[in-house]
Amino acid sequence: MTFNFKNSSKQRFARFPAYSPNPIEDGASLIATSGERTKEMAIILSESGHASTAACPEDELGNWLRSMELKSGTSSSQDLGKLLSDGISMFKDNPRYQNDPRFLKLWIVYLDTLKDFESITREMEESKVCSGNSFFYELYALYLESKGLLHEASMVYKIGIARNGEPLSRLKKAQASFLSRMSSIINGASTREIDDDKYRTSATDKINPWSSSTLKDLLEKLNPQFMKYDGYISSTKPYSGKVSLSSLRNNSRNKIIEIGGKKYQIKGCAGQGGFAQVYKAYINSSPDDVVALKVQKPAFPFEFHMYRILDLRIAEPERSAFGFAHKMHVFHDCSILICDYLSHGTLQDAVNSYLVMGKFMEEVLCIYFTIEMLRMLETLHSAHIIHGDFKADNLLIRYASDNLSEEDFLGRGGPWSSQGLCLVDWGRGIDLKLFPDNVEFTGDCRTSGFRCVEMQENRPWIYQVDMYGLCVIVHMMLHGSYMEIVKKNSPDGCFYQPKSSFKRYWKIDLWENLFSKLLNTGHANYHPNLLKDIRKSFEDYLCSEPQLIRKLKDLLVKLRTSLC
């Protein structure tokens, strides 16, 4: 596995200030400006005692570093870059220095003279420079963090831990410090992102969040904020590219459209709806740089607001479960959203892969995906965000790059953190902080099979739209069909439950608890721990029998094979 980070990610996190954290125990700072590189060379030299080879006549690297100290004092930035490059070429094939921290730091300083992070880190990987040393991952993550590339820095920590970089305890401690810093940043940003009342709607207590009048009002009030969003490019002119966007619907493969100075080679349609089409595309024809382009007519910039709100309010490790948007180009007649592309299919594809064979998804796999969805909604709702279109087509499957272990399942440690689902399509997303505290919604999603009980009975709703969608997806996984509900009387009033019965060998108590609570929880009796408590009941069951986790691992491997 190589570090394959897109340069556009830099823009995504550029709104965070640059940081100069200093958790390295020996106090060496490797986050530099070009004017500080001479000082850094002296720091590297002064730390030669930490290296595996002490400076001596036979220590070629140490002697070269000493000569560099003399040259760097009179060298320009360009000359210094060439000197560093020459030194790396001289020693990179020498096994004696493969795990020498001085050589690793030399690479890090060299990185700061260039803009092409990706090719250099790939070269470091190929040269196996300290690939088993936690120092490599810690220093590189710090470097990315200083550049504002927070998501990429987080990924470096994860990769290093997955590879058991030694000492592992130090790397985990560094990761914990990083996550603590990010939490502080995000919490601070969310308190100042929007003044409490500045962008709120009028004081009415019942609103259709999807009506054209509501969206128009929100967009007008958010317009100053949009101008501050990194990656948001707006034009009053219509799209005027050489390749017509409407022509992509019929025959899109290998057509090239140019947006914002970049060329996107369309590789096919990845999905479409009434107003938007999503295309898989290569940036500048590179198969290693794949994105999804969502073309929508008329333009719909509000979805970009939802992605930026997710960036601000949801911290790692949960952030990767909700998709990333790099840029949005808004024209007079359309908008083009540029997002990450995941290639492993949707949860709907997973359900269909069983149905085509005349089977249903096995219960242990249903339980796993149910846990993932409950955690998603738990995270979203606590951040005052509603997805509004929670269905299997919008849940992309993520797979771990390394082997999953039973002992890490409960804490989602190791590769489990990158295994799961990713929720996309935020066109119906609702930012509750834009509305009064006591708001209740009256809009109808008009999506057959996903209209919650409140919509069906013309009653106000809030979080029920997402919880009902989750119930429909669970029903599809268990029964292979959309959910129908029946209304029954009880001493406490009306009670709703699925029409389909549960199979006797299922964990009926778990499923009954989920459906009864999620279908019968109104705004008045909604509790923040509702989703968490249900999730914990499923997790406790899976962890109660070790063979269930082993079976789950096997099923995930089979599912990946069938979908790919």
Question: Looking at the annotation, which residues are catalytic?
Answer: 389
**Angstrom distance (rounded) from CA 346 to CA 396:** 4
- Measuring CA to CA, which residue among 21, 61, 23, 68 is closest to residue 42? 68
Going by C-alpha positions, the residue among 428, 346, 424, 418 that lies closest to residue 386 is: 428
Spatial separation of the C-alpha atoms in residues 8 and 484, rounded to whole Å: 44
| DSSP collapsed to 3 states, 87-131 | HHHHHCCCHHHCCCHHHHHHHHHHHCCCCCHHHHHHHHHHCCCCC
Distance from chain centroid for Cα 270: 19
Alpha helix locations (H) across 314-386?
A: 347-355, 363-382
Quote the Cα angle for 150-156-161, to 5°: 130
Of residues 62, 80, 165, the one with CA closest to residue 140: 165
Q: What is the bridge-based pairing of β-strands 325-330 and 232-234?
A: parallel
Of 436, 440, 444, 449, residue with least CA distance to 393: 449
Query: ∠ at Cα 397 (395, 401), nearest 5°?
Result: 155
Count the helix, strand and coil residues of the chain and give each as a percent rounded to the nearest 5. Answer: 45, 15, 40
Both tokens assigned to 337: 């959203």
Yes or no: say if 461 and 451 are a contact pair by the CB < 8 Å rule. no
Of 80, 61, 62, 63, nearest in space to 71 by CA:
80
Contact 253, 266 (CB under 8 A): yes
Distance of alpha carbon 9 from alpha carbon 142, whole angstroms? 16
Residue 277 to residue 495: CA distance in whole angstroms:
40
Q: Across the strands, what pairs with 461?
A: 441
- Looking up tokens 């400076």 gives 55
CA dihedral 533, 538, 544, 547 (to 10 degrees): -160
Torsional class of 257: left (φ above 0), alpha (ψ -120 to 50), beta (otherwise): beta
Is there a contact between 268 and 254 (Cβ–Cβ < 8 Å)? Answer: no
In total, the chain counts a number of residues equal to 564
Closest-CA residue to 393 (of 459, 337, 346, 354): 346
Q: Which residues pair with 266 in a beta bridge?
A: 281
Residue 408 class from Cβ within 10 Å (0-12 exposed, 13-18 middle, 19+ buried)? middle
